[in-house]
Amino acid sequence: MVSTFTCYSAEQLPDPLLEERNLIIKDASRFDWIRLNSGEWLKGELVSMYDKEIEFDSDVLDTLIIDREDVYMIISDRHHTVRFNDGKELSGALNISGGFIKVGEQPAKYRYRDLVSIAPSVESELSAWTIKLSMGADLARGNTDQTEYSVKADIKRRTASSRFLSEILGYRTTSDNQVTKNNIRANGTYDWFYTQKMYYRPIFFEYYRDPFQNIANKYTVGAGVGYYVMDTDKTEWDFTAGPAYQKTQFDTVAEGEDESNSSMSWFISTNYELEVTKKIDFSLNYRYLTASSDAGGDSQYAMAAFEFEITDDIDFDMSLVWDYLADPIADENGVVPEKEDYKMIFALGIDL
C-alpha cells in the first residue's frame, strides 16, 4: 500500500515524515494527499501539474492552484503519467517525499526538481483544457459618436509531453457610423517537448484579416523548433524558428495587379512571461515573418499585456498590440495603407 512507501534512490533513504503520514492518511486509495512546506495537509484529487503549478481539487476548498515550490509531499494511489526533464515518462501510482519521486513500482531515482509535468488522469481530461474569454468596449457620444469593441479568446491544452495554444483576437471601431477599424487574427500552435527545454513545433497556423491594410485574407502555415532560454518558477522565455508558407488575398487591387499572392518564408518568435506578483502577470509575444514584397513584404507582430487578478476567475487585462507590414499593397484607388497599426485594449477576462 502507499501508506508504507519509503523513498529510495541509489540506496534506501529515510522518510522524515513517515510517522506523521501514517497517522494522517487513512485511505489513500480513495483520496490524494498533499503536504505543504508549511506542514498543512490537503485531501482531494490531484488533477495535474504543468508550468510549475499543481492543480488540486478539494471537496471543501474547491479547485486549488498551488505553486510546486510550496509542496513537500504528494501521495496518490491513482494512475498518473509523469514526465521528467530528460524526456522520460513513467506511469503509475505517485509518491513524492523527501525530495524524491516514486512512480508505480519503479525505484525513486528522480528528484522532485527533475519533475516537468503530471498529466491529468483519464477522468480529469477536461482539466487539461483552459479557456479564457476577454471582452472590452469603449463608447463615446456627443460631438463624435464612437464605439470600440474587442474580443479575445485564449485556448490551451497541456499534457505531460505536449501543449496546444490558440489565440483569437478581434477588434472593431466605428466613428459616426463609419467603420474605421475591423480586423481579426486567429492562430494556433502545437508543441511536443523533447526535453525540458527543447521542443518541436510540427505545425502552427494563423489567419489574419484587415481590410484597412488591404488584406482580405492571409493564411500562414509552418513548423519549427523551440528552446526555453529561461524556465523558473516566476519567469519563462522561449524562442521558436522555422519555415512557413504564406498566402495573401487582397481586398482590392489596381487594374492589372494580382488579387492574391503566396510565398515561402521563415519565422522567428519569442514568448516571455513574468509573474510580477501573485496578482499581476506580464507577457510579451513577438513574431517576425519574412515574405516577398508582392505579398506585402516582411511582417511583425507584438503583444505586450498585463493581467491583474480580481478574483480566481476574473482578470482585468491591459494589452498593447503592434502590427507592421513592410510593403503594403495599394488598393484599387492607388492608396497605400500605413505600415504600422497600434491598438490599446482594456478588457475583463473570464476563465471558463
For 30, the grid coordinates are 480513495
Band of pLDDT at residue 188, cut at 50, 70 and 90: very high
Contact predicate 56/46, CB 8 Å: yes
Sign for the pseudo-dihedral over CA of 60, 64, 70, 74: positive
324 residue type, one letter: Y
SS3 296: coil
**Does the predicted TM-score (pTM) go above 0.85?**
no
Look at residue 3 in the predicted model and tell me its pLDDT.
Answer: 44
Mean pLDDT of 139-151: 70
- The C-alpha cell 483544457 sits at 129
Contact predicate 136/348, CB 8 Å: yes
Sign for the pseudo-dihedral over CA of 301, 306, 310, 311: positive
Band of pLDDT at residue 5, cut at 50, 70 and 90: very low
Name the DSSP class of 4: G
Element (H, E) at 20: helix 18-24
Quote the CA–CA distance of 185 and 166 in Å, as a whole number. Answer: 11
Contact predicate 332/253, CB 8 Å: yes
Mean pLDDT of 19-33: 65
Band of pLDDT at residue 226, cut at 50, 70 and 90: very high
Domain edges within the chain: 2-119, 129-351
Band of pLDDT at residue 10, cut at 50, 70 and 90: very low
Mean pLDDT of 259-274: 91
CB count within 10 Å of CB 218 equals 23
Look at residue 156 in the predicted model and tell me its pLDDT.
Answer: 85
Q: Does 14 or 305 have the greater pLDDT score?
A: 305
Domain 129-351 has CATH 3.40.190.10: no
100 residue type, one letter: F
Q: What is the pLDDT of residues 99-128, one digit of tens each?
A: 888 888 877 788 888 888 887 655 555 666
Band of pLDDT at residue 140, cut at 50, 70 and 90: low
Look at residue 8 in the predicted model and tell me its pLDDT.
Answer: 44
Per the prediction, the chain carries an average pLDDT of: 82
Residue 345, pLDDT > 70, answer yes
SS3 16: coil
